[in-house]
Chain A
């Protein structure tokens, strides 16, 4: 079928995470018009070689994410620039705002000259709710498989070779606490693009927008 090399003019442009991401600020950020959460702490990708995504059955993904890669993996609220060491990789956390409804992990890795295929990404954000909200659901789409924890509890799992669709997998009814709520997610991908989108929806499937995101 023939293979073309990348256009040298495009391939030689210095890599950047712009325009997909901008640095997060200290000002709390509201969700976008559809309720998508666009502020995240993203850890540079952990190497997890996979030539295909067809291995991402539940057992594989659970084992992959329950492996401890760095200290306090399920509790830490990192700061921008914090570093962890995973095997022989030194990886940094980046506090970023996504320019899109989805968080383009491939572009995050590519722009930082990090591995794009065969990787695990970790993401953390803090949702500030003005009051307790019962019966809300976390709605996630991811490419490829992922798991998501709210306040330390596993609430949404997406297994198999997934593509990212908004509201692909939705949690059971859950409660957003008044004040801070911590979302933690992990996404695994073999070859191909990788991204995710997260929002909260109410009983009618409408997005919840009267919340803000911060990273502290």
Chain B
């Protein structure tokens, strides 16, 4: 197994702005290799890669451009903010190119990542870990974990062991006397997380730097201690090659590696990574930011929300979000068979089942309607209720929305599409949410309610952020509520009543599912 690294600077020089990129890709020119953890500084997101530079997003984390500055060169940096300092770790040497495995991991700090700021500048650039070129280690791909008051650094590649050392969180320099601990083999681009008493060691298996033929994939093991022993879901030690899959190639993206956690709070966790090849971008290596889910105590790579037609289902009540209009009965097809007789629309509910404890009318089970018997004539499909059948009954203008039994009706079908040029959030653009086939647009109101406007006019109250939460449900937030800077989310304040309120991660009220009709 070989390992090596590829300079992002080379990729940047070769990269061209791709047009017509698919939604699953970040916007802009997100070309990078070995990206660091994505960090936020004064209104912008930053990540740094192999070579000397990195990427900046100034629209919330959706559109990325070159422009970040890191000194020292080398490969595969990581970054963390502790107190008022950003500490950067990177490696010089090693990586297996031409067989060299002598390498130094260095750390340095800066007070800001904005290269135009007078406070920008890297200091105290010095070595914190090394490999001598002979031992079973190659000191590249460093990554920080700061938790429980301790700062840990993992590093290494396929040449020998992944190792963990402890640094002083005030300086990011080595704790005096600290010795490296071997924690894994057959891994590179490692990173660590801490959650619920577990330390998680993530890293890539497979081959890198071979474009669409790279087999890079993300694996994880866990331990009660930051120095291991780490084992996977089958109990296989990472020191014997174990590792549970977190994410790998999918769609048009090949070779996923270089995990970095982006914890946005309120149960929204994302991870940054690169793909060795984006087949829609000339096979170049690009940055991505995706949701991180947790299943049975293990991290799982989620997928950013995709445009499409959906039911928006409340996790609290199971009801679907809908335009609050009068229910219109549909032709249930039973008129064709024995015992049928329900009217097509609007008529008395001759075939309806009593939901209030009243005696069942004729046509209901046990009522002699016969709908549970085979039809006397041919079996025929019953068409869905069509928008054209009901739209004329809907009020014009702004209409309230509510939650109700999901019935696959036109007032419950939402078309969700990304909006260009309005920015986004980490990994995704903002969306507009409209009743399918109409211009009726979900919007936040100044009094904290949610309505459907007759048409999309481009206001921030009509743009929605859809973040997947760690349990796989979604949080839905307007870009802005009129006359307010408070972040609010769509919340089922009642089983049938949506509103806008502060998101409570401990409750199902603000959690939603998107289901295909």
User: Residues on A close to B: CB < 8 A?
Assistant: 1-7, 9-11, 13, 52-54, 101-102, 107, 117, 141, 143-144, 161-168, 189-193, 197
Contacts and interface: CB of A to CB of B under 8 A. Distances in A.
Interface stretch (B1-9, B281-289, B459-467): B1-9
Given A4-B102, A164-B241, A166-B240, 11 more contacts: A1-B74, A1-B75, A2-B74, A3-B102, A4-B92, A5-B100, A6-B133, A54-B207, A144-B1, A164-B185, A191-B96
A58 B213 CA distance: 16
B160 interface: yes
B158 A193 contact: yes
Contacts of A143: 1, 186
A3 B2 contact: no
Contact of B92 (A2, A9, A163, A166): A2
Contacts of A189: 1
B1 A4 contact: no
A10 B134 contact: yes
Nearest to A3: B100
B354 interface: no
B1 A53 contact: yes
A187 to B, nearest CB: 12
B427 interface: no
A2 B106 CA distance: 13
B498 interface: no
Contacts of B95: 1
Given A163-B1, A163-B158, A165-B240, A6 B132 contact: yes
5 contacts: A1-B50, A3-B102, A7-B132, A161-B1, A161-B215
Given A163-B186, A192-B158, A10 B73 contact: no
B315 interface: no
Chain A, interface SS category: loop
A112 B93 CA distance: 26
B97 interface: yes
B155 to A, nearest CB: 15
A44 to B, nearest CB: 20
A5 B5 CA distance: 17
Contacts of B133: 4-7, 10-11
Contacts of B7: 1
Contact of B1 (A6, A9, A162, A167): A162
Contacts of A7: 102, 130, 132-134
Contact of A4 (B51, B94, B158, B186): B94
B236 A167 contact: yes
B405 interface: no
Contacts of A101: 240
A144 B55 CA distance: 35
B30 interface: no
Contacts of B215: 161
Contact of A1 (B5, B130, B186): B5
A9 to B, nearest CB: 7
Contacts of A3: 93, 97-98, 100, 102
A170 to B, nearest CB: 13
Nearest to A36: B240
A169 B210 CA distance: 24
A163 B240 contact: no
A192 B208 CA distance: 13
A166 B135 contact: no
Contacts of A192: 1-3, 96, 158-159
A10 B132 contact: yes
Given A5-B102, A167-B236, A191 B134 contact: no
B213 A54 contact: yes
Nearest to B133: A6
Given A1-B5, A52-B2, A54-B213, A163 B132 contact: no
Contacts of B3: 192
B242 interface: yes
A107 B134 CA distance: 10
A128 to B, nearest CB: 25
Contacts of A102: 240
Most buried by B among A9, A107, A165: A165
Query: When A and B form their complex, which 7 residue pairs have the shortest distance between CB atoms, in order from nearest?
Result: A6-B133, A165-B241, A4-B93, A7-B132, A10-B132, A163-B186, A4-B102
B434 to A, nearest CB: 48
A51 B158 CA distance: 16
Interface in B108-165: 130, 132-136, 158-160
A190 B210 CA distance: 15
A112 B185 CA distance: 23
Contacts of B94: 4
A68 to B, nearest CB: 27
A190 to B, nearest CB: 7
A36 B230 CA distance: 20
B244 to A, nearest CB: 12
A166 to B, nearest CB: 4
Interface string B395-437: 0000000000000000000000000000000000000000000
B2 A53 contact: yes
A138 B93 CA distance: 39
A167 B241 CA distance: 9
